[in-house]
Amino acid sequence: MVHTINKRVCGFHCDAYGHVNNARYLEFFEEARWSALHDYDLVTKLHELQLQFFVVNVNVDFKKPVVTDDIATISTSLGNLKRKTISFFQTIEVSGQITTKAEVTFVLFDTQNNRAVTISDTLVSYFKPLENA
């Protein structure tokens, strides 16, 4: 299922142009990912396996500006699963209109052996609840 959080945009999120700064969107998306991972207990599970998320690729489309006092609904769902990488599809919506779209790709990094691990069936099963069926 698609995981969503709502966030009120504050003045300090915005830059001199009056809208949310382009780099700040990545922070919004990261906050939404963390929230999704917490809600599905993934932070604990991956911590037990001594795996960390390392982002390796980000693609963002900026469609409309987001400004102070907007309520941004940030959605996160499972994207592409590959041998060593997983991606999340994420969007920001304001008043029902998509303002920003992103695909964030990451590896799971084994902090003991200092390498990215192969995405096993067990690991896939942890992320499956976030599939947009």
Binding site for another protein (CB under 8 A): 16-17, 21-24, 26-27, 30, 52, 54-62, 65, 87, 89, 101-103, 105
We find the least distance from the C-beta atom of residue 27 to another protein, in angstroms, to be 5
We find the least distance from the C-beta atom of residue 128 to another protein, in angstroms, to be 21
DSSP tag of 86: E
**CA–CA separation, 74 and 112 (whole Å):** 33
Nearer to another protein by C-beta: 49 or 121? 49
Catalytic, 121? Answer no
Q: Active site residue: 15, 41, 110, 121, which one?
A: 15
* Structure tokens that stand for 126 in this block: 């942890």
Angle, CA 10 vertex, CA 6 and CA 11 arms, to 5°: 160
Q: Are 105 and 85 in contact (CB under 8 A)?
A: yes
Nearer to another protein by C-beta: 3 or 122? 3
Helix, strand, or coil (residue 82): coil
Pairing of strands 51-62, 115-116: unpaired
Nearer to another protein by C-beta: 45 or 101? 101
We find the least distance from the C-beta atom of residue 29 to another protein, in angstroms, to be 8
Catalytic residue positions, numbered: 15
